[in-house]
Amino acid sequence: MPGIFITGTDTGVGKTYVTQYLAEEFRRQGSDVGIMKPISCGPAKDNDALLLKKRLKINDPIHLINPIHLKHPLAPLPAARLEKKKIDLKKIFSAFKELEKKHDLVLVEGVGGVAVPINKNYCVIDLIKDLKLPTIIVARAGLGTINHTLLTVSALREQGIEIMGIILNSFRGKELSEKSNAEMIEELSGVPVIGKLMWVAN
């Protein structure tokens, strides 16, 4: 398995935090782990790829870790249109192949959810399929996550993409739904919840 694609049910669900957590865990198990953020959108100071590179002390050049960076905090398609650009998918595939040669495993962090548009008629789910990677879904722990998670599972299955598991992120212990969501998601989707992570300040 050359890598795992870390996707989310939405933006802001904690994909970067989970990617870092998984990289550290695979390292503890003895794997040489690389990371990739194919597309980032927004100011450089908020770039998740730079954050992961720093926190994980990864030596790979940023142009491989993050081959596409757009200035505006939008989905890739509208962000690229504001800059009068079209996203070059070949840059992503080329960078992934380079990272694949360097590491035992490459964790690829997506942008937003699976239906986020990259180019016209090409979304995140198409990128996952073209990279031929299995996925881990990151979802919120609280109310509303059943709907978002089941929709994401359904979309991935329709494209024949393997789902390794679901990680519920940001448990706060304040919502009644947090006590039952994992069990409900497993029962209704047939996909295991492989992790539950507590909310951490900053």
- What residues form DSSP beta bridges with 105? 33
Contact 116, 145 (CB under 8 A): no
Which residue out of 37, 53, 71, 85 is catalytically annotated?
Answer: 37
Contacts of 102 (CB under 8 A, 6+ apart): 32, 34, 60
Domain containing 72 — which CATH number?
3.40.50.300
Is residue 31 marked as binding?
no
- Is the pLDDT at 29 greater than 70? The verdict is yes
With cut-offs at 50, 70 and 90, classify the pLDDT of residue 139: very high
Is residue 16 marked as binding?
yes
Measured in whole angstroms, the distance separating CA 125 from the mean position of its chain's CA atoms is: 11
Is residue 13 marked as binding?
yes
- What residues form DSSP beta bridges with 123? 117
Is residue 17 marked as binding?
yes
Contacts of 56 (CB under 8 A, 6+ apart): 20, 23, 24, 33, 35
Q: What domain count does the chain have?
A: 1
The position carrying tokens 């359904």 is 154
Note the pLDDT of residue 201.
67
Is residue 12 marked as binding?
yes
With cut-offs at 50, 70 and 90, classify the pLDDT of residue 202: low
pLDDT in tens, 46-81: 899 999 999 999 999 999 999 999 999 999 999 999
Is residue 169 marked as binding?
yes
Note the pLDDT of residue 171.
87
Structural domain boundaries, residue 19:
3-198
Is residue 142 marked as binding?
no
b or e along 55-86 (b: 16 or more beta carbons within 10 Å of the residue's beta carbon)?
ebebebeeebbbbbbbeeebbbbebbeeeeee
State the angle between helix axes of 145-158 and 181-189 in degrees (0 to 180), rounded to the nearest 10. 30
Q: Is 102 a catalytic residue?
A: no
pTM, full prediction: 0.95
Is residue 112 marked as binding?
yes
With cut-offs at 50, 70 and 90, classify the pLDDT of residue 129: very high
